[in-house]
Amino acid sequence: MSSPYAPLIVALFLAALIPVAFVILGSRLGPRRPSAEKTTPYESGILPSRLPGDRMPVKFYLVAVLFLLFDVEAVFLFPWAVARHRLGDAGQIGMAIFFAILVLGLAYEWRKGAMEWD
Partner 1 sequence: MGLISRPERPELRTGVQKTRRLPAGASDEAAAVRDAGFVTRFDALLNWARKNSIWPLPYGTACCAIEFMGAVDSVFDLSRFGAEVVRFSPRQSDLLLVAGTITYKQAPILRRIYDQMPEPKWVFAMGVCASSGGFYDNYCTLQGIDKVIPVDFYIGGCPPRPEAVLKALLELQKRIESAPAAR
Partner 2 sequence: MAVRSAVNPGSTDYARFEERFRGAVARDEGMVGVGAVWRVRREAILDVLRFLRDESGLRFRMLTDLTAVDCAPVRDGDRFDVVYILHSLERGDRVAVKCAIPEEDCRCDSAHALFANANWLEREAWDMYGIEFRGHPNLKRMLNHKDFVGHPLRKDYDIYRGQWLSESDDLLDELERRRELDPRPVPADRETMVLNLGPSHPAAHGVLRNLVELDGETILHAIPEIGYLHRGFEKSAEVHDWNQIVPYTDRLNYCSAILNNIAYARAVEALCGITATDRTMFIRVILGELSRIMDHLVCNGANLVDLGALTNFWYLFNLREKIYDVIESVTGARLTNSYTRIGSLWADVPPEFSDSVRNVLREIPKAVGDSEKLVVRNRIFIDRTVGVGKISTEEALSFGFTGPCLRATGYEFDLRKAYPYDHYDAFDFEVPTGHQGDTYDRVMVRFEEIRQSVRIVEQALKMMPEGPIKADHPALTIPDKKQTYGNIEGLVNHFKIIMHGVQVPKGEAYVASEAANGELGFYIVSDGGQTPYKCRCRAACFHIYSAFPRLVEGGMIADAVATLGSLNIIAGELER
Q: Which residues bind partner 1 (CB under 8 A)?
A: 29-33, 35-38, 40, 42, 44-47
116 makes contact with partner 2 (CB under 8 A): no
Least distance in Å: CB of 31 to partner 1?
4
Helix (H), strand (E) at residue 16: helix 6-29
Quick one: DSSP state of residue 39? G
Integer Cα distance of 57 and 117 in angstroms: 11
Of these partners, partner 2, partner 1, none, which one is at the site of residue 35 (CB under 5 to 8 Å by kind)? partner 1
48 makes contact with partner 2 (CB under 8 A): yes
Taking the C-alpha atoms of 13, 17, 20 and 23 in order, what is their torsion angle to the nearest 10 degrees?
A: -150
- Summarize as ranges the residues that interact with partner 2 (CB under 8 A): 43-50, 52-53, 55-57, 59-60, 117-118
